Structure formats: structure tokens, C-alpha cells
Amino acid sequence: MSEKINNACKAARRNNPLIFLTALGALMLASTKIAASAPASGTATGNLIVDGKAIPLKFAYVIDVDNVEEAGLKFPTTQHYRVIVLSDRELPAASVCDRNAPASERVSPMQIMEPTGKIPSDKIYGIRLLIDPKQANPLSAEFLYPNKDPMTFTVMGTEYTDRVTNVKVVGRSVSGQAELSRITETRLGKGPKKYSYLVTFHAPITTEPAITSNLTGKEALDSAPVAALRAHLIAGKTGDLDALRKLTAESHSPYLKHKELLENLKGGEIEKIAEQVKRVIIRGSHASVVCVNEEPNYSQVMIHLIEDKEGWKMQWP
């Protein structure tokens, strides 16, 4: 495990004693790994200009999000928003099936900061826009390029002049134009230095699956996902590696090889569960446990789990 991961774990654990959180904890609250209906790619027409070179963007993906997970929290993202991904190459459904698109395979902070393998979105040039359908100025915009450092966030739509205009929704499809008209500095130490884009798009709208359970209070604390979280915390605190393996999803089992991670798990305070678990959202075989720490520093995070024939498994860290 890299030094930056170890330091982030230590710092975040001080902020949230229930379970150590990474520096991306607040960001990950805005994500949820769910098995959405398989999206079909739409079409894009136009160019992304990177350091003076025109890169045609040919594919478009649109995901509508009903962000129930953050309702009532201190730092919520807009409840109803839309993710638009414009790419130079076609992406598989698994990469664009939810609000994490085009990296839907990654569902936790550790997967973002210290990915264990490549995914299709690591190879693309493109743009990711998060928009309020009622506004032209994106809530955020991200420049995507091959082998992008997962810790790099390059563009914010409120700071620059990204725009999504001429939006039309007909049935379950949406069309429009996305544009960054002026050449913009990426501010990257490594990688491309300048970019702009002008792209029209038309794509089917993918929606995330309906919520099957929205639990708060005692119902949330008594739920099976929280029981799995509690068991995971106990196993981490006691150093029971066999139990941790059984309670960890296959996608996250490689992280159990890191001694620094196992040491950090010993700091979890199980008694904080009742205080910090605010909501459990279940969408089919995927669950999100929303945790909030008020003191000494406010933090909020969403812990993801997946259910298989053996029960609920942690997709954490």
C-alpha cells in the first residue's frame, strides 16, 4: 500500500471512528454501486481538442440519478441529477450502469485511490458531466484521458465555462450539446496541458434500479447489511483474517493483503454504529449504509455491500 493511502487512512480514521474513512469519503457518498438496466450507447458528434490535437468523441451515455441516499445530510448533492459521459470509444454496460459512470466498476474510496486493476475507462479520452437538468452550467465536469491519475480532479463546472445546452428529452432519450468553448488549462503536473470541446449527443436514458428498502432508525440498525458491517468491524478489530475474507466481496479481497490496512481496521469503534448509521438503502442485491460522524470534524460516507448466496459482503475499503 502506498504511503499516501496509509496516511489518508490514518487521518480519516481520526475523523470517523466507526470505520476508517479515506480522504474521498465525502465524495463517495455521492456514489452507489447498483446493477442498473444494461444501457445502450448513444452517439456523439464532435471533437475533444487536447494540446491542439482533435480527438473525435463518438459515444454518449446518460444516467438519471435519484439521489435518495443523501437526503437530509449536511452536504447533499442535488437529489435529481444526470450524468453524461462522452467518449472516444464504446464502453461496456458494467462501466456506465450507474452514477459512477464511466467507472461503475469502482465503488469505494480505496478502489479509486489504489485500483488493483485496469478498467475500460482508464483508456478513454472524454468528458464526464454531472448536471442539474434545469441548468446549463454543470454541477461538475471532468476531463478524462488514458491512464489518468485516479486522485486527480481537473475541472469544476462552476469555475469554468462548460455548458450543456439545447437539451431535449423525448421518451426515454435525451439530446443536446456540450461545450467548453475556450482553451482551458488542465493544471496537471503530468499529462495533457490544455483542452476544449464541442460535442452534440443523443443517447438513451439509463435509470438506476428502484429502491427496495429505505431504512432508518431501528430498522436500519437491525438490517442485514448493518449486521455484516458490524461483523466486519469486529473481525477487523480482533484481527480475524478468516472472518474478514468471508465478509469481504471478491472485488475487495486483494486489499486484505495490506498490513497497513489491517492495522487501521483495528481502530474501528463498534459502539459508534448506533450513533453514526443514518440510513440503509437497498437496491436489489446492492446496499449502501450511510454513515455520518458529527464530531470532532464532520464527515459523511457511504459504505457499499453486495449480497450473494452466502449473505452480505463488504465492498470496502
DSSP string, 272-310: GHHHHEEEEEEETTEEEEEEEE-SSS-EEEEEEEEEETT
Check residue 33 and give its pLDDT: 45
Report whether 181 contacts 68 (CB < 8 A).
Answer: no
- Determine the pLDDT at residue 41: 87
Q: Where are the beta strands (DSSP E) in 138-268?
A: 140-144, 163-170, 173-185, 194-207, 213-215
Mean pLDDT of 234-258: 96
pLDDT of 24 > 60? The answer is no
Q: What is the pLDDT of residue 16?
A: 57
Q: How confident is the model at residue 159 (pLDDT cuts 50, 70, 90)?
A: low
Burial 137-156 (b: 16+ CB within 10 A, else e): ebbbbbbbbeebeeeeebbe
Domain chopping of the chain, boundaries: 3-30+211-315, 42-207
- 193 CB neighbour count, 10 Å cutoff: 14
Over residues 269-294, the mean pLDDT reads 95
Grid cell listed for 210: 428502484
What is residue 2's predicted lDDT score, i.e. its pLDDT? 52
Q: Is the pLDDT of residue 231 over 60?
A: yes
**Could you say which DSSP state residue 248 is in?**
B
Cβ 169 vs Cβ 186: under 8 Å: no
Count other C-beta atoms under 10 Å from residue 130's C-beta.
20
Residues 124, 144: contact at Cβ < 8 Å? yes
> Comparing C-alpha atoms, which of 49, 45, 54, 44 is closest to residue 197?
49
Mean pLDDT of 260-288: 94
User: Above 50 in pLDDT, residue 27?
Assistant: no
Which residues are 185's β-sheet partners? Answer: 194
Show the cell assigned to 279.
Answer: 440510513
More confident residue, 209 or 100: 100
The mean of the pLDDT values for the chain is 87
Q: What are the angstrom distances between the C-alpha of 297 and each of 13, 17, 162, 269?
A: 11, 11, 33, 16
Residue 74: count of CB within 10 angstroms of its CB: 11
3-state SS, residue 69: helix
> In CATH, what number does 3-30+211-315 get?
3.10.450
